[in-house]
Chain A
Amino acid sequence: MFYREAGQFKTNYKDDQAVFPILQDRLAIGLFLIVAFVAIPYFGNDFFINSMMIPFLIFSLAAIGLNILTGYTGQISLGTGAFMGVGAYSCYKMTSIFPDVNIIILIVGSGCFSAVIGMIFGLPSLRIKGFYLVVTTLAAQFFLEWCFITIGWLYNYNDSGAIEVPQREMFGIIVTGASATPVTRYLVVLSIVVVMTWVASNIIRGRIGRAWMMIRDMDIAAELMGVRPLQAKISAFAVSSFYAGVAGAMMVFLWLGAAEVESFDVNHSFLILFMVVLGGLGSLLGSFMGAAFITLLPIVLGAIPGILGLHINAAALEHVKFMIIGALIIFFLIMEPHGLARLWAIGKQKLRVWPFPY
């Protein structure tokens, strides 16, 4: 009843192939965008924007990147953290080499470096699959981490070994650095994430995305039908690492403000893999849901005792949070092994036929 498509006639191919063919979806997405672009900046306080929304969006983008590789092409990777690092370090280097170039161009451009590195480490995927590929991507993770520590040129030989974000302006507004307001940074992150999600959805719907999915479903059949595995797999690694790289650059430049190599360690690779698995393999919406689950839920859980007026000491709270989230992950994976996105799809189907299910 709420989700009735009856009466929505498609009279040309363009309408039929739209990203959101259903009117209700278009309205919902419009509403979401208005909330994200207008209501949140207007009503959200610094903590909500800086510690909840910005990390959520950045990890969503990283999860989309990994989802392209793992969910759509079927190549499991544990190198996402390091590819984010490549984006961050190359963005840092570029800001010091080209101080006058617009920071947004540098952030998006740093994805290209990460794409190239991703392509190199994606080459083994042509010969090996599954767990063996996981091991080679893990090697990429450790090798790149080692590079970030050992190659002093990458962090301009700072004594601290950390990369620090310089202040950059755009149209007279400070975008990066400590003086940038959370709202400005949020709007920049949001714009980049929205545009890149839209691009990703179109790549996936098109020829390239279909080739990826064919490789995922059965690579020999795909090859027989004319999909070239080299191009398909390497392009998946390139696009995936590009997204991870941009996410990494945003993480340092628009969220943290400074980073050491620990910000790109293997834990982050696992975290993003969990987001993808939990959210739903092969779903863009799932990437957002997974990221929300992993980044927002702990903060919300942590705030509950404070709201109720209970005083629990910080360490105990942390342990309880770990336990609840661990239990919830298991619960959701048992309930719906295909992730939160699938739960939503089922819910949507139910709404469609409500109140007369058949």
Chain B
Amino acid sequence: MFKKLILGATAMAMVGGMQIQTASAEEVLYVPSLSYRTGAYAGGGTPIANGFADYMNMLNARDGGIGGLKVVVEECETGYTAQKGVECYEATKGKGALVYNPYSTGITLQLIPKAPVDKIPVLSMGYGLSAAAVGETFPWTFNYPATYWSQMSSILKFIDSQDGGIKGKKIGYIYLVSGYGKEPIPLLENLAKTMGFEVVQFPVAGKEMQNQSSQWLNVRKEKPDWMIMWGWGAMNATAVKEAAKIRFPMDHFIGNWWAGANADLDPVGKAGTGYRSANMAAAGTDFPALQDVIKHVVSKGKSQIEDPTKVGDVLYNRGLFNAVLVAEGIATAQKIAGKANISGSDMRDGLEALDLSAARLKELGLEGFTAPIKGSCKDHAGGGSIFLQQWDGENWKRTSDLIAPQTDLVRPLLEAAAAKYVSDKPEWKTQTCK
């Protein structure tokens, strides 16, 4: 009885070809936003989600959308967990989603193989899999404006320009033990050989984020010349506090762009003065586009932001920058496709042809907001430069020029990593670039 049932059901399933298609969306540009306003990392997720939604709503209010079509941002709460992220993806992909911004390396890794199947690109802005920058191997994944690896190479380049070079120096790397924190290690070890420095690693387990005394005891023992941090959430403030406690020279302590938000350093305050972090989008509201956001959205109470003075915070502006990339991708895609109502694969072409030049940034009212980005079939990271900002005890101040990544050193490593990713996936679809 049982066997017959199973056999019968499988047979029916195979004959049936049973896909109930959800009704195609009406004429809007539908952009799901996988946000995390709840859970342990809500402090980081909330401003990002606000910045993203506010920019899109500003475009709707000021320009009537993009190319005449309204942008619909639907938030889906992931709580920073991969399982909820996939649930959100499944719930929204049928509504004509143009692009996914997963906001978590864990979710990104799950969406990368799904993207080519569902024909919806993934834009993991400055997180996710570094190897995804190799456009030939990952046609559907984008890493604008830069990957973790190119960011690391920029930070090392900055160190090289200080205090008589990096050669012979000892660099401490303190990181969160997770996919995110471990990602740059292969590059760091590789560049240690080519650039001639020594690396000491200080791993911090996720559960021990707020108790780093043993790591910093080791730092005191090892006496590195510079410290680099790949941290997130509560880990950042704790690390800066501990560094201050052991009197580590703060201006020789550099965090990556997830270790340099206002929320990270506010609890540290004065003690953190001099701490540096990388960033990709300027903080503050001194840009016409941000003024428009305040005028059209925030001051009209259409934003979810609770405290209007938080507009222009580091992470708010990062979410806004993400929205700018998506909006530009949509505009480019509309130009290429010759129609306003684009699909996911049009969006992919648009993102690939993305050209956010200095002139275009000025046009958008974002002059000097970020480094110019230009994508291509080969390069899905856009070769974006980063800059360093420094904490003055109360706020972040930009203190360096744009630092370009060491593409010549990073690219071969990225290609090797991409080849490794697909090595056990014979069915993986790549693209060839002219």
- Please state if A314 and B75 are interface contacts (CB–CB under 8 Å): yes
Q: Which residues of the partner chain A approach B433 to less than 8 Å between Cβ atoms?
A: none
Q: Which residues of the partner chain B approach A299 to less than 8 Å between Cβ atoms?
A: 87
Partner of A162, one of B6, B38, B109: B109
- Please state if B130 and A159 are interface contacts (CB–CB under 8 Å): yes
Asked if A130 is an interface residue, CB under 8 A from chain B, the answer is no
Task: Please judge, given known A-B contacts A42-B16, A256-B82, A260-B179, whether A178 and B90 are in contact too, CB under 8 Å.
Answer: no
Q: Kindly report which residue of chain B lies nearest to residue A163, judged by CB atoms.
A: B109
Nearest first, the 10 closest Cβ-Cβ pairs linking A and B are A37-B9, A315-B37, A178-B113, A314-B75, A161-B179, A314-B77, A160-B179, A318-B77, A51-B90, A51-B87
Q: Kindly report which residue of chain B lies nearest to residue A37, judged by CB atoms.
A: B9
Asked if B430 is an interface residue, CB under 8 A from chain A, the answer is no
- Please state if B106 and A162 are interface contacts (CB–CB under 8 Å): yes
B positions within 8 Å CB-CB of A? 1-2, 5-6, 8-10, 12-14, 16, 18-20, 22, 35, 37-38, 42, 46, 75-77, 79, 81-83, 86-87, 90-91, 94, 105-106, 109-110, 112-114, 116-117, 129-131, 177-179, 182-183, 185-186, 205, 304, 417, 424-427
Interface of chain A residues 134 through 184 with chain B (CB within 8 A) = 146, 149, 156, 159-162, 164-167, 173, 177-179, 181, 183-184
Interface of chain A residues 275 through 327 with chain B (CB within 8 A) = 299, 313-315, 317-319
Q: Which residues of the partner chain B approach A156 to less than 8 Å between Cβ atoms?
A: 424
Smallest CB–CB gap between A196 and chain B, Å?
13
Q: Which residues of the partner chain B approach A37 to less than 8 Å between Cβ atoms?
A: 5-6, 8-10, 13
- Please state if A44 and B20 are interface contacts (CB–CB under 8 Å): yes
Q: Which residues of the partner chain B approach A184 to less than 8 Å between Cβ atoms?
A: 13
Partner of B110, one of A167, A179, A198, A258: A258
Q: Which residues of the partner chain A approach B177 to less than 8 Å between Cβ atoms?
A: 149
- Please state if B38 and A318 are interface contacts (CB–CB under 8 Å): yes
Q: Which residues of the partner chain B approach A194 to less than 8 Å between Cβ atoms?
A: 2, 6
Interface centre among A42, A162, A259 (most CB of B within 10 A): A162
What does the 1/0 interface line of A257-280 toward B look like (CB < 8 Å)?
111111100000000000000000
A166-B77 Cα distance, complex, nearest whole Å: 28
- Please state if B79 and A33 are interface contacts (CB–CB under 8 Å): no
Asked if A1 is an interface residue, CB under 8 A from chain B, the answer is no
A positions within 8 Å CB-CB of B? 30, 33-34, 37-38, 41-47, 50-51, 55, 96, 99, 146, 149, 156, 159-162, 164-167, 173, 177-179, 181, 183-184, 187, 191, 194, 198, 255-263, 299, 313-315, 317-319
- Please state if B90 and A256 are interface contacts (CB–CB under 8 Å): no
- Please state if A45 and B94 are interface contacts (CB–CB under 8 Å): yes
Q: Is chain A's interface secondary structure helix, strand, loop, or mixed overall?
A: helix
Q: Which residues of the partner chain B approach A47 to less than 8 Å between Cβ atoms?
A: 90-91, 94
- Please state if A260 and B178 are interface contacts (CB–CB under 8 Å): yes
Q: Kindly report which residue of chain A lies nearest to residue B207, judged by CB atoms.
A: A142
A30-B4 Cα distance, complex, nearest whole Å: 12
Q: Which residues of the partner chain A approach B87 to less than 8 Å between Cβ atoms?
A: 51, 55, 299
Partner of A45, one of B5, B20, B113: B20
Task: Please judge, given known A-B contacts A162-B106, A164-B109, A318-B77, whether A45 and B82 are in contact too, CB under 8 Å.
Answer: no
- Please state if A179 and B427 are interface contacts (CB–CB under 8 Å): yes
Q: A183-B19, A260-B179 are in contact. List 5 more A-B contacts (CB 8 A).
A: A37-B13, A43-B18, A161-B178, A260-B106, A319-B38
Q: Which residues of the partner chain B approach A315 to less than 8 Å between Cβ atoms?
A: 35, 37-38, 42, 46, 75, 77, 304
Q: Which residues of the partner chain B approach A177 to less than 8 Å between Cβ atoms?
A: 113, 425, 427
A30-B1 Cα distance, complex, nearest whole Å: 9
Smallest CB–CB gap between B49 and chain A, Å?
8
A179-B428 Cα distance, complex, nearest whole Å: 10
- Please state if A191 and B113 are interface contacts (CB–CB under 8 Å): no
Q: Which residues of the partner chain B approach A178 to less than 8 Å between Cβ atoms?
A: 113-114, 116-117
Smallest CB–CB gap between B38 and chain A, Å?
5
Task: Please judge, given known A-B contacts A160-B109, A160-B183, whether A314 and B76 are in contact too, CB under 8 Å.
Answer: yes
Q: Which residues of the partner chain B approach A161 to less than 8 Å between Cβ atoms?
A: 178-179, 182
Q: Kindly report which residue of chain A lies nearest to residue B81, judged by CB atoms.
A: A262
Q: Which residues of the partner chain A approach B16 to less than 8 Å between Cβ atoms?
A: 41-42
A178-B89 Cα distance, complex, nearest whole Å: 13
Partner of B22, one of A45, A96, A99, A314: A45
A258-B111 Cα distance, complex, nearest whole Å: 9
Q: Which residues of the partner chain A approach B130 to less than 8 Å between Cβ atoms?
A: 159
Q: Which residues of the partner chain A approach B427 to less than 8 Å between Cβ atoms?
A: 167, 177, 179
- Please state if A166 and B37 are interface contacts (CB–CB under 8 Å): no
- Please state if A160 and B105 are interface contacts (CB–CB under 8 Å): yes
Q: Which residues of the partner chain A approach B10 to less than 8 Å between Cβ atoms?
A: 37, 187
